[in-house]
Amino acid sequence: MVSAEPMELMELMGADRLYARAIEAEPILPGYVWNARTHNYHYLRNMQFVSRPHILRLLDNQLNDLQRQAIAVLADVQIGQISPATGLAALNLSLKREVLTNAALAAGGWDRLTPTDFGRCGGILRAQYRRATDCINGLADGTVSPAQAANRVNMYFGRGREMFYEMERERLGPAPKGKYWAERRLLEPTAENCPDCIYYAAQGWRPAGELPVPGAASQCNGNCRCELQRKAIDADDYAKMLAGEM
Ligand SMILES: [Zn+2]
């Protein structure tokens, strides 16, 4: 299945080669521009902004693709088609891509990632590489079942998605004058939602920062496909929200 989306993701991040350039600062490519004031991407050709749901969809499609590929790698290791070392190298490269892509999009492009951001990605990746090593070795020697391995690997990838929401929230500036940020959790209708996510979604709109980001503090962990929505509301609505009337 060929889609134009991976290319669009890369253009949004201002990167033409995800793997090779992942650790370098890259200028935003012509075609897209990040507006640091409004925290939106704009198409340069018409200056229309690229909606956040659109970016979230691109990221989720990438995550789904990488997870599918990772499961195929696990199957190849299990039947001995490839060595555990080769499988691990493929998984690690995909994990790097997932984590760095999410970081770059949360930050507004590669050139906006700070050394601290890269350090954070590196910390996450080191932990996920270690887990992936244990998982692949377990699969190869039969101590981890294919189903367990698939579930674990899905979670390793999901950590990138969780980090996107963390970084995006951290970079959120103050709400427009006289307004307050509110957030809510939305369940993915086609997903098997865990009890924790169902509980968070049932809270409705809450002051920004109160609800855990998708993937955090939930049983579904890296398999979470919930969305975190955000909007600026006025003082009246804020009072209603605190009273649970929103
Ligand atoms: Zn969830």
Q: Of the residues 144, 170, 196, which one is the last residue of a structural domain?
A: 170
Q: Is the pLDDT of residue 69 over 90?
A: yes
How far is the first Cα of the chain from the last one, in angstroms, to the nearest whole number? Answer: 42
Q: Count of domains in the chain?
A: 2
Question: DSSP string of 210-235?
Answer: SSPPTTTTSTTGGG---EEEEEEEEH
Q: Is the pLDDT of residue 106 over 80?
A: yes
In the reported structure, the alpha carbon of residue 172 is separated from the centroid of ligand 1 by a whole-number distance in angstroms of 22
- Tell me what pLDDT residue 39 has: 74
In the reported structure, the alpha carbon of residue 21 is separated from the centroid of ligand 1 by a whole-number distance in angstroms of 31
- Tell me what pLDDT residue 155 has: 95
Assessment of whether the complete model's pTM goes beyond 0.95: no
Query: Structure tokens of 245?
Result: 């009337």
In the reported structure, the alpha carbon of residue 20 is separated from the centroid of ligand 1 by a whole-number distance in angstroms of 32
- Tell me what pLDDT residue 191 has: 84
Q: Is the pLDDT of residue 24 over 50?
A: no
- pLDDT tens-place string over residues 108-162: 887 788 889 999 999 999 999 999 999 999 999 999 999 999 999 999 999 999 9
- The residue written with tokens 């939602």 in the block is 193
Q: Are residues 160 and 61 in the same domain?
A: yes
Q: Are residues 74 and 195 in the same domain?
A: no
Q: Are residues 163 and 190 in the same domain?
A: no
Q: Are residues 13 and 111 in the same domain?
A: yes
Q: Are residues 159 and 184 in the same domain?
A: no
Q: Is the pLDDT of residue 36 over 80?
A: no
Q: Of the residues 152, 170, 188, which one is the last residue of a structural domain?
A: 170
* Residue 187 · residue 201 · CB < 8 Å: yes
In the reported structure, the alpha carbon of residue 115 is separated from the centroid of ligand 1 by a whole-number distance in angstroms of 30
Q: Are residues 157 and 210 in the same domain?
A: no
In the reported structure, the alpha carbon of residue 82 is separated from the centroid of ligand 1 by a whole-number distance in angstroms of 33
Q: Are residues 226 and 128 in the same domain?
A: no
Query: Structure tokens of 165?
Result: 């929401």
Q: Are residues 150 and 203 in the same domain?
A: no
Q: Of the residues 139, 170, 201, which one is the last residue of a structural domain?
A: 170
- Tell me what pLDDT residue 216 has: 95
Phi then psi for residue 181, to 5 deg, are -80, 135
Q: Are residues 156 and 40 in the same domain?
A: yes
- Return the higher-pLDDT residue of 61 and 182: 182
Q: Is the pLDDT of residue 198 over 80?
A: yes
Q: Is the pLDDT of residue 184 over 70?
A: yes
Bridge partner residues of 179 (DSSP): 234
- Tell me what pLDDT residue 218 has: 95
- Tell me what pLDDT residue 30 has: 42
In the reported structure, the alpha carbon of residue 110 is separated from the centroid of ligand 1 by a whole-number distance in angstroms of 28
Q: Are residues 14 and 135 in the same domain?
A: yes
Q: Is the pLDDT of residue 1 over 50?
A: no
In the reported structure, the alpha carbon of residue 120 is separated from the centroid of ligand 1 by a whole-number distance in angstroms of 23
In the reported structure, the alpha carbon of residue 57 is separated from the centroid of ligand 1 by a whole-number distance in angstroms of 15
In the reported structure, the alpha carbon of residue 174 is separated from the centroid of ligand 1 by a whole-number distance in angstroms of 27
- Average pLDDT over the chain, rounded to an integer: 86
- Tell me what pLDDT residue 32 has: 63
CA–CA separation, 55 and 58 (whole Å): 5
In the reported structure, the alpha carbon of residue 224 is separated from the centroid of ligand 1 by a whole-number distance in angstroms of 4
**Mean of pLDDT values over 33-42:** 74
Return the closest-CA partner of residue 131 out of 80, 91, 72. Answer: 91
Q: Extract the runs of DSSP E, i.e. beta strands, from the chain.
A: 32-35, 40-43, 49-50, 179-186, 206-207, 227-234
In the reported structure, the alpha carbon of residue 85 is separated from the centroid of ligand 1 by a whole-number distance in angstroms of 32
Q: Are residues 228 and 144 in the same domain?
A: no
- Return the higher-pLDDT residue of 20 and 55: 55
CB under 5 Å of ion ligand 1: residues? 197, 220, 224, 226
- Structural domain boundaries, residue 202: 179-242
Q: Are residues 84 and 130 in the same domain?
A: yes
- Tell me what pLDDT residue 38 has: 74
In the reported structure, the alpha carbon of residue 161 is separated from the centroid of ligand 1 by a whole-number distance in angstroms of 11
Q: Which of 29-33, 96-100, 174-178 has the lowest mean pLDDT?
A: 29-33
In the reported structure, the alpha carbon of residue 244 is separated from the centroid of ligand 1 by a whole-number distance in angstroms of 21
